[in-house]
Chain A
Amino acid sequence: MAEVATARTYRLHLMVCAGTGCVSNHAFELKTALEREIEKHKLENEVTVVPTGCNGFCERGPILVVQPGNVFYQQLSVKDVPHLVEEHFLKGRPVAKFMYFPPEEKTPVPVLSDIPFFKKQVLVALRNRGLIDPEKIEEAIARDGYKALAKALTEMSPEAIISEIARSGLRGRGGAGFPTGLKWQLVRNAVSPNGGAKYVVCNGDEGDPGAFMDRSILEADPHAVIEGMVIGAKAIGAAAGFVYVRNEYPLAVNRLAVALEQARAFGLLGRDILGTGFDFDIRIKRGAGAFVCGEETALIASIEGRLGEPRPRPPYPAQSGLWGKPTCINNVETWANVPVIIDRGSAWFAGIGTATSKGTKVFSLVGKINNTGLVEVPMGITLREIISDIGGGIPGGKAFKAVQTGGPSGGCIPKEQIDLPIDYESLAAAGSMMGSGGMVVMDEDTCMVDVARYFLSFTQDESCGKCTPCREGTKAMLDVLTRITEGKGVPDDIALLEDLASAIKDTALCGLGKTAPNPVLTTLRYFRDEYETHIRDRKCPAHVCRQLNIYAIDPRLCLDKGKGCDVCRRNCASEAISGSKGEAHAVLQDKCIKCGVCADVCAFGAVRVE
């Protein structure tokens, strides 16, 4: 019988966030300091320090949550530790100065569940976040880990498992939203050539700019993903599985590897799982970080050791996937949802969300938002609730302008649609998509043409080059967008962009190319006037496109406030500023290269951007 490493009862559990965000903010140093200080006070038998996956409130890291009591400490540093340990963990006096103070408020919110960021979240895929050490399988088991697996292997037929998943309404969390139960049924029905194997694959090739949902799930609760895959393997009849994860996610790769080893040691993976006679094992395939490998046929090629390039579908991987065998590919978050559906039942899961989009969705909330972080919300929640209530609004009193969902394949949703409910259909109708869960918030200082240019430069860079529409088409679109942002746009450019977009959508080989024009199309749909202003007036309303800016110095401000300090002239590399110390300065427009340095260095706000 396996020994339990954590059998001791401690009166205090210090849950240190050890997601990638907090780790890069020295969470491990914090953990070591806590342990040292606890030992100094001889509290090591009373107080335990537990590293967990991402807590979610990345903006406020490094984070420490004290249980019992759910006391939330934030932005801690090693030097805070002696005071905190003595006051709170020894003497029982929580320390207000390390707690969360809502913006503009003078009293802290001591308890995590009272903080607005956490209040509206519903944790299903992230059910164990902040509660377990992801490197201790016993803790995952204590939180009902592998309970659903035991049920699936002993009490359920493969058909029963599939119909339970189908009834739950679970849809693919990787972006497209294909019904998971249906996909499993297709793979189960598919006949493997020569009676050979079938495979399950976990797609962890998360590549959208600003997205970290899959990484965080793998870091916080790798056993949820493993358990989901074993259940899926039983349902479709697979004997082997792969997790495709980016090598640039070292913490996720490492925690997954540890989890796989522990699961094997406990007989939850490998031969004769739980003594039921079912054999299944999982290997990690580390990807080199190519965006296209998130596309399932390219991912398959990469696992097989070939160049990560897509191929035409059909045949779909459900018929002919890895090494030509029927293969079930689901995203990390999809797999993590499976055990809890089997354990708690499809009716429970289907009770969350909307008519067509069931359950929850994990988003990484980034961009111009106060509370950057990882959030899990029920489907059907509005953008407003996510951005205002959970996200805490836009920093610096700026106005909300748009939110980008679905990454480079998605689109920008304007402020007029802030009450849009988050579900697959609503987002698609708005011209965007659910995507894997990246959510980039933009404020009034964002230029939408520049945003479209950025995403096109991303997809153009990541295009594998196999098909002409994507290779040449994205480049042509990027050229047009670049010239618009440089003030060289011509009136026909908008029509040209639309033509190119529709040609690429219709003819590109894979999802990367087919969806690459989306950021352009949605910004054209909602922010057409910005394109027109760039082209017709040669102006960038947000002053982001520097080539369109005119820099001018207000002579009175320069002289009255700055006393003609001369800093701008000395910093101007193209000698485009006239005047000497003590005089009012001026920009020589014919020499100005619009680098913006004068505006950046002027301490008196005398350089105007028009």
Chain B
Amino acid sequence: MPKLTIDELAKMRDRTRRTLVPREGGEFRAKINVHMGTCGIAAGARAVMTALIEEAERRSLQDVLLTSSGCAGLCSQEPMMTVETVGKPPVKYVNLDPAKAREILEKHVLGGSIVRDYALGVGSEKTDA
């Protein structure tokens, strides 16, 4: 193993840090929640999640949180995902596939504009908390 110089140490720190971001509980600019109920998985949610992970990896994204949750209740329109960007209401997308997910990541999560063609609506159900 070649020995590190001061510069290489700093580079290694920055590069590895990126992979530890999910552990450190910092701020995320966006959260993408892929609905992974049985219905979602049957309709192809796993492929959507895989595509998002690969895309995040390819773009070296550090501040986008990829997460999963259960069935969103609209089983007929799975796979679904919910995108939340900081300070904006969540947007639910329906009938997804890997290509659509990549497009949403690029245009909405990174670009800031909602992809209306795939969106179900803006906002969430009310909950009695």
A2 CB contact (under 8 Å) in B2, B38, B70: B2
Q: Is the CB of B12 within 8 A of A2?
A: yes
Q: Is B56 at the interface (CB under 8 A from chain A)?
A: yes
**Chain A residues in 8 Å Cβ range of B15:** 4, 7
Q: Is the CB of B19 within 8 A of A92?
A: no
Q: Is the CB of A67 within 8 A of B23?
A: yes
Q: Is A150 at the interface (CB under 8 A from chain B)?
A: yes
Question: Closest approach, in angstroms, between the C-beta of A533 and any C-beta of chain B?
Answer: 53
**Chain A residues in 8 Å Cβ range of B65:** 68
Q: Is A12 at the interface (CB under 8 A from chain B)?
A: yes
Query: Which bracket fits the contact residues of B?
Result: 35 or more
**Chain A residues in 8 Å Cβ range of B9:** 141, 146-147, 150, 268, 274
**Chain A residues in 8 Å Cβ range of B98:** none
Q: Is the CB of A141 within 8 A of B68?
A: no
Report 27 cross-chain contacts, Cβ distance below 8 Å, ordered by A residue: A2-B1, A2-B12, A4-B12, A4-B16, A8-B19, A9-B18, A12-B22, A46-B49, A46-B53, A67-B24, A67-B25, A70-B25, A90-B36, A90-B41, A90-B68, A91-B37, A91-B41, A92-B67, A113-B25, A141-B12, A141-B13, A142-B19, A147-B13, A265-B1, A267-B2, A272-B3, A274-B9
Within 8 A of A (CB), among B31-45: 33-38, 41
Binding site for A on B (CB under 8 A): 1-6, 8-10, 12-13, 15-20, 22-25, 28, 33-38, 41, 46, 49-50, 53, 56-57, 61, 65-70
With A92-B36, A139-B20 known as contacts, the answer to whether A68 contacts B25 (CB < 8 A) is yes
Closest to A42 in B: B46
Q: Beyond A8-B57, A42-B46, A91-B70, list 19 extra A-B contacts (CB 8 Å).
A: A1-B2, A2-B4, A4-B16, A11-B67, A13-B23, A46-B49, A50-B23, A68-B22, A90-B36, A91-B38, A92-B34, A113-B25, A141-B16, A142-B17, A146-B9, A147-B10, A267-B2, A274-B3, A276-B6
Q: Is the CB of B6 within 8 A of A274?
A: yes
Q: Is the CB of B67 within 8 A of A139?
A: no
With A46-B53, A265-B1, A267-B4 known as contacts, the answer to whether A92 contacts B20 (CB < 8 A) is no
Q: Is the CB of B22 within 8 A of A11?
A: yes
Whole-angstrom CA separation of A380 from B55 in the bound complex = 49
A91 CB contact (under 8 Å) in B18, B23, B68: B68
Question: Closest approach, in angstroms, between the C-beta of B3 and any C-beta of chain A?
Answer: 3
Q: Is the CB of B1 within 8 A of A266?
A: yes
Q: Is the CB of B56 within 8 A of A150?
A: no
Q: Is the CB of B56 within 8 A of A9?
A: yes
**Chain B residues in 8 Å Cβ range of A70:** 25
Whole-angstrom CA separation of A140 from B49 in the bound complex = 29
Q: Is the CB of B16 within 8 A of A138?
A: yes
Within 8 A of B (CB), among A62-119: 67-70, 90-93, 113
Q: Is A348 at the interface (CB under 8 A from chain B)?
A: no
Q: Is the CB of B57 within 8 A of A91?
A: no
With A7-B15, A8-B57, A9-B19 known as contacts, the answer to whether A154 contacts B6 (CB < 8 A) is yes
**Chain A residues in 8 Å Cβ range of B8:** 1-2
**Chain B residues in 8 Å Cβ range of A46:** 49-50, 53
Closest to A6 in B: B19
**Chain A residues in 8 Å Cβ range of B3:** 265-267, 272, 274-275
The count of residues in chain A whose C-beta lies closer than 8 Å to any C-beta of chain B is 45
Q: Is A525 at the interface (CB under 8 A from chain B)?
A: no
**Chain B residues in 8 Å Cβ range of A154:** 6
Closest to A149 in B: B9
Q: Is the CB of A11 within 8 A of B53?
A: yes
Closest to A70 in B: B25
Question: Closest approach, in angstroms, between the C-beta of B9 and any C-beta of chain A?
Answer: 6
Whole-angstrom CA separation of A209 from B11 in the bound complex = 44
Interface string of A539-559 (1 = CB under 8 A from B): 000000000000000000000
B36 CB contact (under 8 Å) in A7, A9, A91, A267: A91
What are the 6 tightest A-B residue pairs by CB atom distance, in nearest-first order? A267-B3, A92-B68, A142-B16, A92-B69, A265-B1, A11-B66
Whole-angstrom CA separation of A154 from B7 in the bound complex = 12
Whole-angstrom CA separation of A80 from B28 in the bound complex = 31
**Chain B residues in 8 Å Cβ range of A50:** 23
Question: Closest approach, in angstroms, between the C-beta of B92 and any C-beta of chain A?
Answer: 15
Q: Is the CB of A9 within 8 A of B53?
A: yes
Closest to B8 in A: A1
Whole-angstrom CA separation of A266 from B35 in the bound complex = 43
Whole-angstrom CA separation of A142 from B20 in the bound complex = 8
Question: Closest approach, in angstroms, between the C-beta of B32 and any C-beta of chain A?
Answer: 10
Q: Is A381 at the interface (CB under 8 A from chain B)?
A: no
**Chain B residues in 8 Å Cβ range of A275:** 3, 5-6
**Chain A residues in 8 Å Cβ range of B41:** 90-91
Whole-angstrom CA separation of A68 from B50 in the bound complex = 18
Interface string of A170-187 (1 = CB under 8 A from B): 000000000000000000
Q: Is the CB of A10 within 8 A of B2?
A: no
Question: Closest approach, in angstroms, between the C-beta of A117 and any C-beta of chain B?
Answer: 17
Interface string of A1-42 (1 = CB under 8 A from B): 110101111111101000000000000000000000000001
Whole-angstrom CA separation of A512 from B109 in the bound complex = 63
**Chain A residues in 8 Å Cβ range of B38:** 91
Within 8 A of B (CB), among A34-66: 42, 45-46, 50
B53 CB contact (under 8 Å) in A45, A139, A147, A266: A45
**Chain A residues in 8 Å Cβ range of B22:** 9-13, 67-68
With A6-B16, A92-B68, A275-B6 known as contacts, the answer to whether A45 contacts B50 (CB < 8 A) is yes
Q: Is the CB of A142 within 8 A of B13?
A: yes
Q: Is A402 at the interface (CB under 8 A from chain B)?
A: no
Whole-angstrom CA separation of A68 from B68 in the bound complex = 11
Whole-angstrom CA separation of A15 from B22 in the bound complex = 11
Closest to B57 in A: A9
Question: Closest approach, in angstroms, between the C-beta of B5 and any C-beta of chain A?
Answer: 5
**Chain B residues in 8 Å Cβ range of A69:** 67
Whole-angstrom CA separation of A53 from B111 in the bound complex = 40
Whole-angstrom CA separation of A266 from B2 in the bound complex = 7
Question: Closest approach, in angstroms, between the C-beta of B86 and any C-beta of chain A?
Answer: 15
